[in-house]
């Protein structure tokens, strides 16, 4: 197959790689029909995850058409169009049944979502079937593979409730869909911390009531002023850096929760602040399959349009340009067409 690969820091190619194969009878192979670049893909792209030992496929968000199934797959058939959650699960183990599908005892992850084919472990537990969608629906549906459930996980973990005030730290695609998710969960006031005009506009379209463009202490002071010194009932940390985490705990009200979904890099928790405030931290890797039964109907009925986070569309063969655009903040999120 042809697939997007990472072979060195900031070196993306679209080249021939071995086709994925059925490894276990619970596997399925899907032909990728829509894909995209995730903000977390930029960490290895920039070298922040260490050296790249050998060329490897990259990409974990995709929609697909089932082209092969293992002998124990019962719920899906060749030809089915499916959402492929980036974190695969059997949906039956004790962790899955407790709502922690991201910690499934049979956990695996999509590793060639930006290629022509991808292997899905635990197909029956992971996949969600779709009626064959029109091309205009693909962006919205593709967000269900990761970025929309991840933003929702931040809001859910932070404890957003009807009538509450939420602050979203981070204006990438996850943060923007965190804004949308806070609205879905009923937040009355949503303060988006964003300094980019295009992202501010999208945050407002998704439900943000206030925009704070400043960062650090200045931005924290503005949030506290907006909340009359109280702080937010829920804070969504959607970046994964130390400064973002510090800001999150500085603007959360005492006794409240920071929901974090940004992949942590160089984060040291502000334990003294947490201790003084009795503030909690919850979240982490999103259990995508847990949220799909709630989020898929919203997309299908058209009450939300999460696909608006895609502001650049490229052929998959030009993924390298997509990485450049996101790395240089020319694009929020890049949609890739096979």
Beta strands in 40-116 (DSSP E): 56-57, 62-69, 81-84, 87-88, 108-109
Q: What is the pLDDT of residues 90-141, one digit of tens each?
A: 999 999 999 999 999 999 999 999 999 999 999 999 999 999 888 899 999 9
Calculate the CA dihedral of residues 295, 300, 304, 305 and round it to 10 degrees: 110
Q: Are 164 and 187 in contact (CB under 8 A)?
A: yes
3-state secondary structure of 261: coil
For 286-312, give the DSSP string. Answer: --HHHHHHHHHHHHHTTS--GGGG--E
Which domains does the chain carry?
2-146+287-337 (3.90.180.10), 148-283 (3.40.50.720)
**Nearest alpha carbon to residue 85 among 139, 141, 7, 46:** 141
- Provide the pLDDT confidence category of residue 16 given band limits of 50, 70 and 90: very high
Q: What is the pLDDT of residues 228-244, one digit of tens each?
A: 999 999 999 999 999 99
Convert 119-185 into a string of H (helix), E (strand) and C (coil).
EECCHHHHCEEECCCCHHHHHHHHHHHCHHHHHHHHHHHHCCCCCCEEEEECCCHHHHHHHHHHHHC
Identify the pLDDT of residue 11. Answer: 96
Please state, in angstroms and rounded to a whole number, the distance separating the CA atoms of residues 182 and 195: 20
Residue 54 pLDDT > 90? no
Please state, in angstroms and rounded to a whole number, the distance separating the CA atoms of residues 259 and 156: 7
Q: What is the pLDDT of residues 192-219, one digit of tens each?
A: 999 999 999 999 999 999 999 999 999 9
Helices 288-300 and 147-158 meet at what angle, rounded to 10? 110
Tell me whether residue 126 is exposed, middle or buried, using C-beta atoms within 10 angstroms of its C-beta: 0 to 12, 13 to 18, 19 or more.
Answer: buried
Average pLDDT over residues 139-145: 98
Phi and psi at 157, nearest 5°, equal -65, -35
Q: What is the pLDDT of residues 223-280, one digit of tens each?
A: 999 999 999 999 999 999 999 999 999 999 999 999 999 999 999 999 999 999 999 9
Identify the pLDDT of residue 186. Answer: 98
Identify the pLDDT of residue 136. Answer: 92
Residue 207's contacts (CB-CB under 8 Å, 6 or more residues apart) are 179, 180, 182, 183, 187, 190
Please state, in angstroms and rounded to a whole number, the distance separating the CA atoms of residues 224 and 123: 46
**Nearest alpha carbon to residue 152 among 134, 170, 133, 175:** 175
Which residues on neighbouring strands pair with residue 21, listed in sequence order? Answer: none
User: Cβ–Cβ contacts within 10 Å for residue 27, how many?
Assistant: 22
Calculate the CA dihedral of residues 91, 95, 97, 101 and round it to 10 degrees: -40
Q: Which single residue is written with the structure tokens 């790249």?
A: 52
Identify the pLDDT of residue 133. Answer: 86
Stated pTM of the model = 0.97
**Nearest alpha carbon to residue 87 among 286, 220, 245:** 286
């Amino acid at each position: 197959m042809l697939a997007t690969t990472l072979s060195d820091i900031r070196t993306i190619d679209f080249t021939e790689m071995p086709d994925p194969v059925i490894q276990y009878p619970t596997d399925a192979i899907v032909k990728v029909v829509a894909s995209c670049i995730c903000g977390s893909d930029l960490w290895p792209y920039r070298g922040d995850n260490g050296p790249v030992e050998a060329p490897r496929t990259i990409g974990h968000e995709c929609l697909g058409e089932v082209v092969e199934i293992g002998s124990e797959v019962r719920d899906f058939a060749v030809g089915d169009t499916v959402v492929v959650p980036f974190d695969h699960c059997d949906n039956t183990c004790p962790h899955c049944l407790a709502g922690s599908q991201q910690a499934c005892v049979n956990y695996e992850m999509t590793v060639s979502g930006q290629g022509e084919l991808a292997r899905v472990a635990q197909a029956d537990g992971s996949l969600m079937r779709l009626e064959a969608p029109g091309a205009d629906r693909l962006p919205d549906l593709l967000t269900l593979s990761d970025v929309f459930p991840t933003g929702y996980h931040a809001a859910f973990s932070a404890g957003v409730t009807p009538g509450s005030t939420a602050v979203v730290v981070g204006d990438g695609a996850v943060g923007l869909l965190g804004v949308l998710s806070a609205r879905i969960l009923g937040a009355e006031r949503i303060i988006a911390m964003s300094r980019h005009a295009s992202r501010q506009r999208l945050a407002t379209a998704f439900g943000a009531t206030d925009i704070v463009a400043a960062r650090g202490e200045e931005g924290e002071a503005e949030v506290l002023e907006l909340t009359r010194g109280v702080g937010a009932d829920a804070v969504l940390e959607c970046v994964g850096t130390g400064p973002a985490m510090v800001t999150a705990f500085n603007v959360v009200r005492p006794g409240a929760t920071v929901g974090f979904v940004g992949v942590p890099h160089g984060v040291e928790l502000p334990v003294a602040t947490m201790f003084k405030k009795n503030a909690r931290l919850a979240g982490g890797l999103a259990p995508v399959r847990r949220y799909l039964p709630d989020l898929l109907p919203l997309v299908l009925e058209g009450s939300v349009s999460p696909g608006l986070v895609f502001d650049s569309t490229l052929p998959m063969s030009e993924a390298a340009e997509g990485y450049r655009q996101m790395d240089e903040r020319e694009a929020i999120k890049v949609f890739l067409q096979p």
